[in-house]
Amino acid sequence: MRAPLSAVRGSPVLVVGLAMLATLVAVAVLAPWIAPYGPKEITGDSFESPSAAHLLGTNEAGADLFSRLIWGSRTTLVVAVAASALVLSAGIAVGLTAGLRGGLADTALMRLVDVLLGLPVLPLLIFVGALAGPSLSTSILMIGAFLWPQTARVVRSQTLTLRQRGFVASARGFGGGATYVIRRHLVPALGPVIAANLVFVAGLAVGIEAGLSFLGLGDPSAVSWGAELQRALATGQSQLGSLWLWWLLPFGLALTFAIFGLSLVGVALEPRFNPRQGRR
């Protein structure tokens, strides 16, 4: 995390990725000013073709698709931030506990992680999501609940190596308590690993939320890119026009754009912070 500017200068991939993310955040924050209409405002007929008034036409209810595209970025962003915050806090807590305590706690937690990692996540999400009822907070909570094991494993292995390092040993030798060592030494040292992990988790979360919405398991009232894809596909089948060009395509591209941006940042952070990969 040191000298972020010099880090950026070295890597075009990081620059592009960050620029994409910045665009996404700007669109989400400025949505009320950029979007010509509200996302649910009915401003035209059903299935209007693109025009000056409706850049991407209208949906089945007559709402402006361009506005929905812009407002949808907020859902994506909320999911990315909230879900990865959940995943990271759970993952870090478990990983640190397992790595520092060792012994039985470590074995038990890591067995749990193994079991969870072996399960296919999507059926689990569908199962719990269907029973809990679709809502945005359910999606976020579920993503948090099922994605933390990977982070926990990464944090644990990193903690194990850090524990052996001189500065941690000497801090403990001078009488530093567990909380002190965690706060003063471990968390800063884990920072880079966590940063890279954060970006990957955020990308996964965005994809999963869109996927669930695409399968009709998302929040029916939220304006979500995934849900929009589902609706476009369901209607496209019966309408057979060029509807997909301004309905399916823009929302698919927006989603891809978000995931790509996150992934590029992740790829760029990875070798920097993973010394094993840097050494080639």
Contact set with another protein (CB under 8 A): 10-11, 13, 111, 114-115, 118-124, 126-128, 130-132, 203, 207, 210-211, 214-217, 226, 229, 232-233, 236-237, 240, 244, 248-249, 252, 255-256, 259-260, 263, 267-268, 270-271, 274, 277, 280
C-beta of 29 vs 115, nearer to another protein? 115
Q: How many residues does the chain have?
A: 280
Q: Measured from the CB of residue 115, what is the shortest distance to another protein in angstroms?
A: 5
CA distance 233 to 240: 10
C-beta of 171 vs 260, nearer to another protein? 260
Q: Measured from the CB of residue 98, what is the shortest distance to another protein in angstroms?
A: 15
Q: Measured from the CB of residue 114, what is the shortest distance to another protein in angstroms?
A: 6
Q: Measured from the CB of residue 214, what is the shortest distance to another protein in angstroms?
A: 5
Q: Which two tokens stand for residue 181?
A: 């060592």
CA distance 223 to 202: 19
Residue type, 198: L
C-beta of 11 vs 73, nearer to another protein? 11
Distant-in-sequence, close-in-space partners of 34: CB < 8 Å, separation ≥ 6: 27, 70
Q: Measured from the CB of residue 171, what is the shortest distance to another protein in angstroms?
A: 30
Nearest to 106 by CA among 187, 163, 191: 163
CA distance 228 to 252: 9
Q: What is the largest CA-CA distance in the chain?
A: 74
C-beta of 136 vs 193, nearer to another protein? 193
C-beta of 5 vs 52, nearer to another protein? 5
CA distance 152 to 113: 8
Helices (H), 102-175: 103-117, 121-132, 136-164, 166-173
Is the torsion defined by CA of 228, 230, 233, 237 positive or negative?
negative
C-beta of 90 vs 257, nearer to another protein? 257
Q: Measured from the CB of residue 63, what is the shortest distance to another protein in angstroms?
A: 20
